[in-house]
Amino acid sequence: MCSEDGPVILQANRADRRVTRVGKWLRRMSFDELPQLLNVLDGSMSLVGPRPHAVAHDSEFDKLVRNYALRHRVRPGLTGWAQVHGCRGPTPTAVMVETRVQYDLWYIDNWSLGLDLAILLRTPVEVLRGRNAY
Residue 5 resides in a domain: no
* CB distance 53 to 61 below 8 Å: yes
pLDDT at 21 (0 to 100): 80
Residues 6+ apart with CB under 8 A from 1: none
Residue 50 resides in a domain: yes
Looking at the structure of the chain, the number of domains it has is 1
Tell me, what amino acid is at 132? N
β-pair partners for 79: 48
Residue 30 resides in a domain: yes
Residue 76 resides in a domain: yes
pLDDT at 93 (0 to 100): 84
78/41 Cα distance (integer angstroms): 12
* CB distance 56 to 6 below 8 Å: no
pLDDT in tens, the chain (134 residues): 344 555 566 666 667 777 778 877 777 777 778 888 999 999 999 999 999 887 878 888 888 888 999 999 999 999 999 999 998 877 778 898 999 999 999 999 999 999 999 999 999 998 888 666 55
pLDDT at 19 (0 to 100): 74
Residue 53 resides in a domain: yes
Q: Among candidates 26, 6, 27, which has minimal Cα distance to 90? A: 27
Q: Among candidates 122, 82, 119, which has minimal Cα distance to 102? A: 82
Q: Among candidates 62, 76, 61, 56, which has minimal Cα distance to 4? A: 56
Q: What is the pLDDT of residues 88-111, one digit of tens each?
A: 877 778 898 999 999 999 999 999
In terms of residue numbers, what domain contains 33? 21-129
78 sits in which H/E element: strand 77-79
111/114 Cα distance (integer angstroms): 8
